Amino acid sequence: MVRHANSVTMLPDAPDYPLRLTIDSAALVANWSALDRLSGSAAAAAAVKSDAYGLGARRVVPLLRDAGCQTFYVAHWAEAAELLDLVPAGHLAALHGPLDARDAAFAKASGVKPVINSPHQARLWLDAGGGACDLMVDTGMNRIGISMGELGDPLIAGLEIDTLHSHLASADAQSPLNEVQRGRWLDARGQVPHRRAALANSAGIALGADYHGDITRPGLALYGGVPAAGLAEHIRQVAIPQARLIQRRSLQAGDTVGYNATFTAQGPLEIGVVSLGYADGYLRCWSGLGAMHADGAALPVLGRVSMDMTAIDLTAAPHLGEGDWVSAEYSLPEAAAISGMSQYELLTSLGRRFQR
């Protein structure tokens, strides 16, 4: 039943968007297993913030949990609330910590661990009754976390710290800052009692055992990103954006395509218009650079990407008709090299119109 402005009408179910994000569950689990193995004696957790980097946290978390992952990280408390029925109490943590008494009360009641980032957050947590929490120490990134000089604060001393964290600023590069941060992390470990310690994100795992601690926090690599060359052979593509063909068109020599006529046909050409554009996260950086695929054939992007549409060359797929599906060329490391975008942005910018 659909209610119009002046009436109620019986209609069939609303059609789906002509977009889907195919998620390879086996590849996701294989990536976590590889990262867990590469973490050595440390256990690999999973960063599932930003709706599991856009793939759908409620789909991702059970797959990783059933594969053996025991610890999950989100950024915001609202993200944690959406996963309470999927993760046992004490195995989910909110990285941004409590911003007010309401956040702290929710953490206490739900069993979601707060990651304490300042003496103020420590006070909020202790005032709420305290208990097990994590602590983030800033060792050189200057983002969030207590400073090295605050390690001796009485409020920090009053915490029951499960995992002592820090975060590497340049794990994806051969930077001397990595060793500086590791040294400060070890210093912090010596000053503050804690049960476990964590430093490495996806790229940090590739830096080796000295960076692993007791728990690693992979994110991007779980979902098919390769932030360090040492991970390339272990990581499989997880997400494939797909869209339907809206229309076929026949061009003649001299015909142009799209805004500002940036592509001109040199002769007769069959093109397709695909229901995918920058509003869906298929950004203008793909104009004239990207490609779609169908049945093994590469279909180059022609002209500028529009908000909801992209034109492609159908020369290699003459059998495609309106309503057929094509897949975007979107292996994250290769896509980043072609587009100039970061792998993180390419993944998390994929929009809500995709069926996942």
Of all residues in the chain, the percent with pLDDT exceeding 90 is 94
Q: Report the C-alpha gap between 331 and 241 in whole angstroms.
A: 10
Average pLDDT of span 146-175: 97
> Residue for token digits 């779609």?
292
339 Cβ contact list (under 8 Å, min separation 6): 283, 285, 286, 289, 290, 346
Within a 10 A sphere around the Cβ of 90, how many other Cβ atoms? 14
DSSP string, 113-178: EEEE-SHHHHHHHHHTT--EEEEEB-SS--SSSB-GGGTT-HHHHT-EEEEEE---SSTTS--HHH
Q: Is 259 designated active site?
A: yes
Q: Give the residue-averaged pLDDT of 84-103.
A: 97
Domains annotated on the chain, with CATH: 25-224 (3.20.20.10), 239-348 (2.40.37.10)
**Structure tokens that stand for 64 in this block:** 């990783």
**3 state DSSP class of 184:** helix
Q: Catalytic residue among 17, 53, 108, 259, which?
A: 259
pLDDT at 9 over 90: no
The alpha carbon of residue 146 and the mean position of all alpha carbons in its chain are separated, in whole angstroms, by: 25
- Whether 108 is a known active-site residue: answer no
> Can you tell me the mean pLDDT for 81-94?
96
- Predicted local confidence at residue 13, as pLDDT: 85
The pTM assigned to this predicted structure is 0.94
Q: Is the pLDDT of residue 3 over 80?
A: no
Which of these is catalytic: 49, 282, 330, 344? 49
- The pLDDT-based confidence of 5 (bands split at 50, 70, 90) is low
Predicted pLDDT at 96: 98
Q: What is the pLDDT of residues 267-312, one digit of tens each?
A: 999 999 999 999 999 999 999 999 999 999 999 999 999 999 999 9
Per residue in 335-345, pLDDT (tens digit) is 999 999 999 99
Contacts (Cβ under 8 Å, ≥6 apart) of 6: none
Across the range 343-348, mean pLDDT stands at 96
pLDDT at residue 6 is higher than 80? no
What Å distances lie between residue 181 and 168, 184, 290, CA to CA? 7, 5, 38
Question: What are the two backbone dihedrals, phi and then psi, of residue 2, each rounded to the nearest 5 degrees?
Answer: -120, 130
Residue pLDDT, tens place only, 219-272: 999 999 999 999 999 999 999 999 999 999 999 999 999 999 999 999 999 999
Q: Which residues on adjacent β-strands are paired with residue 47?
A: 73
At residue 7, does pLDDT exceed 70?
Answer: no
* Residue 1 in this model has a pLDDT that exceeds 80: no
